[in-house]
Amino acid sequence: MLDRFLESAATLSTPTLGGHGEVTAWLAETTARGSFTTEAIPFAELDGWSFDPDTGDLGHRSGGFFTIRGLDVHDPAGVVTAWTQPIIHQPEVGVLGILVKEIDGVLCLLMQAKMEPGNVNVIQLSPTVQATRSNFLRLHGGAATKYLEHFTEPGRGTVLVDVLHSEQGGRFFRKRNRNIIVETTEDVPLHEGFRWFTLGQVHELLRQDNMVNMDSRTVLACLPMNATARPPERRAGELGPAIVESFRQDPEPAGIQNWLNQAKGACELTAKLAPLRDVGRWTRGERVIAHEEGRYFEVVAMSVTATGREVRSWTQPLIAPCGTGLVGFLASRARGYLEVLLQTRVEAGTPDIVELGPTVQCMPDNYLHLAPERRPPFLDHVRTAQGKDVKYDVVLSEEGGRFYRAENRYRIVEVADDVRFAATPPGFRWASLAQLSALIPHSGYLNVEARSLLACMRALC
Amino acid sequence: MLDRFLESAATLSTPTLGGHGEVTAWLAETTARGSFTTEAIPFAELDGWSFDPDTGDLGHRSGGFFTIRGLDVHDPAGVVTAWTQPIIHQPEVGVLGILVKEIDGVLCLLMQAKMEPGNVNVIQLSPTVQATRSNFLRLHGGAATKYLEHFTEPGRGTVLVDVLHSEQGGRFFRKRNRNIIVETTEDVPLHEGFRWFTLGQVHELLRQDNMVNMDSRTVLACLPMNATARPPERRAGELGPAIVESFRQDPEPAGIQNWLNQAKGACELTAKLAPLRDVGRWTRGERVIAHEEGRYFEVVAMSVTATGREVRSWTQPLIAPCGTGLVGFLASRARGYLEVLLQTRVEAGTPDIVELGPTVQCMPDNYLHLAPERRPPFLDHVRTAQGKDVKYDVVLSEEGGRFYRAENRYRIVEVADDVRFAATPPGFRWASLAQLSALIPHSGYLNVEARSLLACMRALC
């Protein structure tokens, strides 16, 4: 039997939902209904946000939302043995939930067209529920979170997935969100800005720049797929059949767990919160907190005005990255099924410090002045690949509620056998998609960039 | 096909290893070969260990081994909203590894008869490797850890399991060890104190008091079992067939993950390390650090002399619990397969604070003076059950390298349908053995007491 989500991935239109034209029209209509303006302002003009006189931490007077604090990192065995940096501290577990329901015999996903201040465009597709705990408990007032009850009340549906996943470990301190997928058979009212999509329709948008947000991608990566039938034939040279085939394999992920846990056990990095005031090599100006070399990211203050049925304005800090990142998998069909090249990735802010990351994850601009042999392994391969080896090449945004115009280029590059069977550098290892699918329903394995890229890869099937 | 570990569980003797008589003789011979004496001493007589003049923390001059520090806990929603306590701090990941190999066509486990200062008896069965990272890196000198290479060198065998598991969250701060099972086909030399066992032989010892140590039990709980054939008929009324049957079920653990993650998201407990000097309601005397009500545990100092082929002496602090604990599952076959009653268990020292614990886990003496309705749910049921409902009732020790004579009574009590289908109190939920088996290869689900009890339950099959 083909998995129900694979069936949905192969379905581009249904009688009730329509097809590509209806999706495009709905997106245009939703976009026309409201807009956003954002303007950089001095920190002094933030409303309700201020720097603590003792610690220099940037927080809200309610004690809620999030705080920009300092992080003090020591890594005796690292290339850099100690550093300090600003970091987002938000010690609560949010909910990222996608509600699914069978419509016209096909499993469909309830998605939201969501405006967020940091988006490069106005709206992006977000999960059914994307809410911090403070949000959905309405600690700051605000409207009730729509559809929340499907994810928090017992017995409202069949829970397909519920897993605590980390987020960007270079920017968040030990942040984790629940990634939840619930199947319902109830009648579900459709609120403004929400629409049912087949997985194939979501995948079409995921192959376009900046249309499917990070919160959606991490939940999509967790969709359970498990095919027992041989997949339909597809065009030669494409990855689709090999991806579907991977859902039929026996995963046996213990070898990957062994490799990752070896790295976790060996890692000596320690990271603890510190006053933002004590963060060296970063300076606080009127409008930005920036690194002395202009690298990594800046903390900025923004005034946001949302127009729509009503006008809402607020101010908030955001993290603005310095440049566009590159996130890429090298992929191979050398053994007849699909494998990707992983790295054990050390990030000071993740709960376990070490997680599995994609082959390449960096800001290329930080390295291109170096000789090729001093750049991160495989950077040039992933960055410069062209033609039919490039299976996926899309610019996607990170979380628009915390990051300002944070874009990464996501690439999947297929390699020939000589690369696949060459020795890998320390800290790199090939893993099958089946192994990753077995690990993704559990915490502490795949970092957010690897999960995002896994969702992108599935959009090729 | 019956799983290879289930085959091993059903095998009580092999031509090469012999049976019960040979195991008993080997244990007697090994016990006769050496012994231990321990003597309580004043803290001032500890060699190399002292209280830090600033913090009052009890540590070793090398900075290694472990430190007794303070823990400052706040739990706004808890019955007790704030407390401080001593806690063991040892920020490194150790290895608990069992090597397995096919002998006479049966998978066998290489186990060690290990002397530890806190053991109530001299020796207990421990895993092939039971070593802190400092131990196996030989930071404090000492001999090389035997068989370590099978668990740390790539390509030495097939990794069946490798998972980071927490330990006692009331006594350790964020301690995790790697639980590893590796199958080898190499010739393995047998060092003194080591012996191959069938799983059935290990299970025989696990049904006796204080013979299989905690480190063994947590690894045994991780043994992957997966039967596709119907199990052989066993005696009516016993749990064996229902346990084996559970290895054939589709686990679908997402409902349990959902329930646990809901509790993790809602938990507001925070815990941070603090100076031992600032721990209130605990007092430091010449020989013990104790709670003012004589509850929980004491920190004591011990002089240890081991005799055997050579005589070795040392001193170290140990944690001595105040009383014998009770750890129990209520179990049910009401739906035709085996389920146990779990609780979401809040423990300040575990990395995620909340994990899944057994039905009952407490020191009964702390509660027996209370009216029955104010005692922990199910305490009386698990404690007082008698006769054929009691499927397992064995006293087992916790880690003898850190704890002094720490014993818990482990009980598995079968309940009738009226209990199984009664409403459960908040924080309790029935789970199938299949669900637990699906979660146990991953971090952050089952606490060490639940894992131990799961290993005991498997000893009934």
pLDDT for B65 beyond 70: yes
**What's the CA gap between B214 and B172, in Å, rounded?**
15
Which pLDDT score is estimated for A235?
A: 53
Which pLDDT score is estimated for A378?
A: 97
Which pLDDT score is estimated for A233?
A: 57
Look up residue A176 and give its two tokens. 């984790």
The most confident of the ranges A225-234, B222-231, B337-346 is B337-346
CB B365 within 8 A of CB B456: no
**What's the CA gap between A224 and A77, in Å, rounded?**
38
pLDDT band of residue B26 (cuts 50, 70, 90) is: very high
Mutate to test the interface with A, among B89, B148, B152, B258 (most CBs of A within 10 A): B258
Which pLDDT score is estimated for B249?
A: 83
**What's the CA gap between A461 and A238, in Å, rounded?**
9
Mean pLDDT on B56-84: 95
Mutate to test the interface with A, among B145, B149, B159 (most CBs of A within 10 A): B159
Closest CA to A148 of A156, B138, A270: A156
DSSP H or E segment with residue A51: strand A49-51
Q: Beta-strand (E) ranges in A255-352? A: 270-274, 282-284, 288-291, 297-307, 312-321, 325-332, 339-346
Q: Is the dihedral of CA A185, A190, A194, A200 positive or negative?
A: positive
Q: Do A163 and B259 touch (CB under 8 A)?
A: no
Q: Does B433 touch chain A (CB under 8 A)?
A: no
- Classify each residue of A179-217 as buried b or exposed e, where b means 16 or more C-beta atoms within 10 Å of its C-beta: bbbbbbeeebeeeebbbbbbbbbbbbbbeeebbbbbbbb
Give pLDDT tens digits for B151-173. Answer: 999 889 999 999 999 999 999 99
Residues of B in contact with A263 (CB under 8 A): none
Q: Do A159 and B442 touch (CB under 8 A)?
A: no
Mean pLDDT on B302-331: 92
**What is the amino acid identity at position B149?**
E
Residues of B in contact with A91 (CB under 8 A): 270
Q: Does A133 touch chain B (CB under 8 A)?
A: yes
CB B59 within 8 A of CB B334: no
Q: Which of A152, A160, A254 sits opposite B162 (nearest CB)?
A: A254
Q: Do A254 and B441 touch (CB under 8 A)?
A: yes
pLDDT for B232 beyond 90: no
**What's the CA gap between A247 and A433, in Å, rounded?**
8
Q: Do B91 and A163 touch (CB under 8 A)?
A: no
Q: To the nearest 10°, report the CA torsion of B42, B43, B45, B51.
A: -160
Q: What CATH homologous superfamily does B2-34+91-240 map to?
A: EvaA sugar 2,3-dehydratase subunit (3.90.79.40)
Locus of tokens 């043995």: A81
Q: What is the mean pLDDT of each run of 10 residues along chain A (461 residues)?
A: 84 97 96 90 97 97 93 94 97 96 97 93 95 88 92 93 97 97 97 97 97 98 79 64 83 94 96 96 97 95 88 93 96 85 97 97 95 95 96 96 96 91 92 94 98 96 84
Q: Beta-strand (E) ranges in A169-237? A: 176-183, 194-198
Strands A325-332 and A339-346: antiparallel
**Where are the domains positioned within chain A?**
2-34+91-240
Give pLDDT tens digits for B98-133. Answer: 999 999 999 999 999 999 999 998 899 999 999 999
